Amino acid sequence: MKTDQDVLDYLKRLPRVEVSHDLAPEILTKVREAQNNKSLQPGLWRILIPLAAAATVALLFGGLWMGGARTLDPRRQAATWLCQSQEPDGSWSAAKWGGSKQFEVALTGLSLMTLLDGTSRNNPAIEKAVAYLIEHQQPDGQFGEQFAGTPYNQGIATLALAKAYESRKGEVLQVALDKAISVICFSQYNDGGWGYHNEAHPASNLSITLWQIEALRLASQQGWSGVRPRVERGLRWMAGVAADDGSFGYQKSGDTPGGASQTLTAMGAMSLLDPAHIGLVSPSRRQAIKAQMQRLASTSGPDMDYYRRYFLTAALKKMKEESAQQGLVAIRRELVTRQIKQGAEAGSWQADTRWGSSGGRIYATAMASLSLR
């Protein structure tokens, strides 16, 4: 009788096989056809569907061994590259990798979240990143230097530390989070949203608001008191910038500067498609938002916006429709194809996309990897 190790040894000896295309969408289609085929023996499709689903999972996420060679998880490859690229002080240099130094705190936060997602929680690089963020927190709780885009640093760094707190609770980290969360709560506008730092005419916008909501939502789940009402106010403001066609505006419905309507819509959908917030939009508008996500998932081309892909995949995961699952398969295939496979940059993604000049290769790698969760 063969053992599991015997099977693995056999698989390792198999010749390499190149996969011509992703079969997962085809399998999903066949599953649906089988379910609707009345000529099948009663109950047979109940057996076929779980088997096909298991095959789809294997195709979607890959096996430990494929074609006789070990296939590394793309997220682990990204984490490996990030570990190699981390600076001695625990940060990731924006300038070195083509980004803006002003967003170094945010880039470190994104990288920290990527490591928490793709490596062992005992990875020393995680501890160094946490220490860096805490060291670059001002006494009043704000992170990094103060400029218009400071709320991005604040929201992302707070979210990253909150994710780290899930596995490494301690007084130092808790105090840092207490101060960081207080800053976000204090900076919320009366209408429920958040905007740029020290604006002459303060106005909420969806892009900044989303990161603050995500940080506060996780803090609320972890037991921080007085935070949930802030989250609910923020989500109500967000619902207010949604249009009947399911799209989202920047500061109000229909307001999409710079052609960012797709990214803004993915942002809004990520939050408002959550089952916990089903009552914030009408059933018809909720269906319209889902239709927008399905359309975005089917849109491909040379413009790989990793920022948009991050929010789009998060929204699709909250949908039960089969087309959403097919969309996730397609996005994953596209992201994995674009990952650098060889050389010093193996495991990373190029930053020759939208927002690449702000975040550089660190941003592209972190956003792409987080989209593969």
Residue-level pLDDT at 16 = 38
Residue-level pLDDT at 30 = 53
Cα-Cα-Cα-Cα dihedral sign, residues 133, 138, 143, 145: negative
SS3 242: strand
Is 304 in contact with 353 (CB distance < 8 Å)? yes
Is 213 in contact with 174 (CB distance < 8 Å)? no
Is 292 in contact with 275 (CB distance < 8 Å)? no
- The overall average pLDDT reported for the chain is 84
Q: How confident is the model at residue 186 (pLDDT cuts 50, 70, 90)?
A: very high
SS3 346: coil
For 328-368, what is each residue's pLDDT tens digit?
999 999 999 999 999 999 999 998 776 667 789 999 999 99
> Has residue 53 got a pLDDT over 90?
no
Q: How confident is the model at residue 373 (pLDDT cuts 50, 70, 90)?
A: confident
How far apart CA 147 and CA 339 sit, in angstroms, is 33
What is the mean predicted confidence (pLDDT) over 34-43?
52
Higher-pLDDT residue of 45 and 324 is: 324
What is the mean predicted confidence (pLDDT) over 80-100?
95
What is the mean predicted confidence (pLDDT) over 170-183?
97
Q: Which residue has the tokens 């880039």?
A: 107
What is the mean predicted confidence (pLDDT) over 176-195?
98
Reported as type and span, the H/E element at residue 180 is: helix 171-186
C-alpha torsion angle, residues 80, 210, 181, 104 (rounded to 10) = 40
SS3 322: helix
> Has residue 89 got a pLDDT over 90?
yes
- For the beta carbon of residue 342, count every other beta carbon within 10 angstroms: 6
CA 152 to chain centre: 15
For 60-82, what is each residue's pLDDT tens digit?
444 433 333 345 799 999 999 99
Higher-pLDDT residue of 12 and 142 is: 142
- Nearest Cα residue to 154 out of 127, 121, 183, 178: 183
Domain boundaries, the chain: 1-71, 241-338
What is the mean predicted confidence (pLDDT) over 109-133?
93
